[in-house]
Amino acid sequence: KRIAVLASGRGSNFQAVIDAIAAGEIPAICVGLVTDNPRAYAIERAKAAGIPVTVVEYARFPTRAAYEDALLAAMRNCRADLFVLAGYMRILGTGIVHEFAGRMMNIHPALLPAFTGLHAQRQAIEYGVKVAGCTVHLVDEGTDTGPIVIQRCVPVLPDDDESTLADRILVEEHAALPLAVKLFCEGRLEVSGRRVRVR
Ligand code: GRF
């Protein structure tokens, strides 16, 4: 399969996918990184792995619609079977969500449906939950609302702050995301309504 990754920042989840492909764990090639951030460290990771990069910077477009058009064009150009959102920090428009329905997944650092949106780990700390984690889900029109593929959990410890909790969750993200991509690429995900079954 052909996969493409969208990332806005550090790209450690992107790296986990690159590494799993290199290790032969995922039957796929990564055909592109698309980013909205020309300073994203993810770009260095792509270059190191020989993966083509397309930058679609929001601020360079006069309107949101023009940005969305350019992003859609960049994504189509990848001709990917699966698009992986690995820390892509912009909401995707409904046009993009519809075009790639069922073949776009996102990693979110919370046990959904709790703590959607930004600063999920901080939300978990402030709420006082005792268990946190990460979710890989298919992307639908909502923010972090699509069908859940994989979740992994971690304890929240009494002395945690946002950053120590985020670090603990990140370890699980790096396992969950490559696994979800692998299952997709092996054709083992069966979606019926909200429920995703692994065959
Ligand atoms: C991760 O916590 C991911 O769950 C969230 O953004 C962060 C991205 O980290 N969506 P990285 O860029 O993959 O290192």
- C-alpha–C-alpha distance, residues 26 and 34, integer Å: 20
Domain spans of the chain, in order of start: 2-198
Residues 39-65 pLDDT 10s: 999 999 999 999 999 999 999 999 999
Please give the distance, rounded to the nearest whole angstrom, from the Cα atom of residue 166 to the centre of ligand 1. Answer: 9
Assessment of whether the complete model's pTM goes beyond 0.90: yes
* Residue among 98, 108, 119, 137 flagged as catalytic: 108
CATH superfamily of 2-198: Formyl transferase, N-terminal domain (3.40.50.170)
Please give the distance, rounded to the nearest whole angstrom, from the Cα atom of residue 86 to the centre of ligand 1. Answer: 6
Please give the distance, rounded to the nearest whole angstrom, from the Cα atom of residue 145 to the centre of ligand 1. Answer: 17
116 Cβ closer than 6 Å to some ligand 1 atom:
no
Between the CA atoms of 171, 173, 174 and 179, what dihedral angle is there, to the nearest 10 degrees? 130
- Token reading at 97: 């969500």
Q: Is 137 a catalytic residue?
A: no
Residue found by looking up tokens 């799993």 in the block = 20
173 Cβ closer than 6 Å to some ligand 1 atom:
yes
**Ligand 1: which of 137, 151, 167, 170 to mutate, most ligand atoms within 8 Å of CB?**
170
Q: What is the 3-state secondary structure (H, E, C) of the chain?
A: CEEEEECCCCCHHHHHHHHHHHCCCCCCEEEEEEECCCCCHHHHHHHHHCCCEEECCHHHCCCHHHHHHHHHHHHHHHCCCEEEECCCCCCCCHHHHHHCCCCEEEEECCCCCCCCCCCHHHHHHHHCCCEEEEEEEECCCCCCCCCEEEEEEEECCCCCCHHHHHHHHHHHHHHHHHHHHHHHHCCCEEEECCEEEEC
Residues 136-155 pLDDT 10s: 999 999 999 999 999 999 99
Q: What is the pLDDT of residue 139?
A: 98
20: confidence class by pLDDT, cuts 50, 70, 90:
very high
